[in-house]
């Protein structure tokens, strides 16, 4: 028997908290990227992280540079609801001077076939923030 497939509609409103990650999203509204740095060993994350995965110590917020380089990339022909209108789009992992980990974001303003590893990129921020990951993206520098 073939699987039974039906079409249905699903829509809800909901509230949720960013909890300890809230400063990251507020910083996006000010045109800043916040990572986190270990207070003990100095390991620097390009993302919010409350504790160091290297040594377990707490981290503090650390302002990242707004320019970086493409570490790797992929072209997405399908995505979550927030990104469906943008497909196909390019996802990149950005490397920053002074950070030990990478930052996942979208690359706009470059055709997928023009993207290269090591390509300089710069962060851009939504003029009307929504406190979502779509508030930041990168463009070729």
Q: Which is nearer to Zn ion, 43 or 96 (CB)?
A: 43
Instruction: Determine how many CB atoms are found less than 10 A away from the CB of residue 95.
Output: 19
Site string for Zn ion, 5-44 (x = CB under 5 A): ---------------------------------x-xx-x-
Cβ atoms of residues 106 and 138 within 8 Å:
yes
Pattern of binders to Zn ion over 41-80, x per CB under 5 A?
A: x-x--------x-xx-x-----------------------
Q: Quick check: 121 and 70 in contact, CB under 8 A?
A: yes
Of 111-140, binders to Zn ion (CB under 5 A) are none
Cβ neighbours, 10 Å, residue 43: 18
| Residue closest to 95 by CA, chosen among 114, 76, 123 | 123
**What is the closest distance, in whole angstroms, from the C-beta atom of residue 122 to Zn ion in the complex?**
29
Binding region for Zn ion (CB under 5 A): 38, 40-41, 43, 52, 54-55, 57
């Amino acid at each position: 028997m073939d699987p039974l497939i039906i079409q249905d509609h699903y829509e809800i409103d909901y509230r949720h908290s960013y909890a300890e990650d809230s400063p990251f999203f507020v910083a996006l509204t000010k045109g800043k990227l916040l990572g986190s740095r270990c207070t003990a060993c100095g390991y620097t994350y390009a993302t919010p992280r409350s504790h160091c995965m290297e040594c377990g110590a707490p981290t503090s917020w650390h302002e990242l540079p707004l320019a970086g380089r493409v570490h790797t990339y992929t072209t997405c022909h399908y995505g979550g609801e927030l990104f469906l209108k943008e497909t196909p789009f390019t996802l990149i992992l950005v490397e920053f001077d002074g950070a030990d980990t990478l930052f996942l974001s979208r690359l706009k303003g470059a055709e997928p076939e023009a993207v290269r590893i090591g390509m300089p990129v710069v962060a851009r921020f939504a003029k009307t923030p929504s406190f979502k990951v779509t508030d930041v993206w990168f463009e070729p520098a």
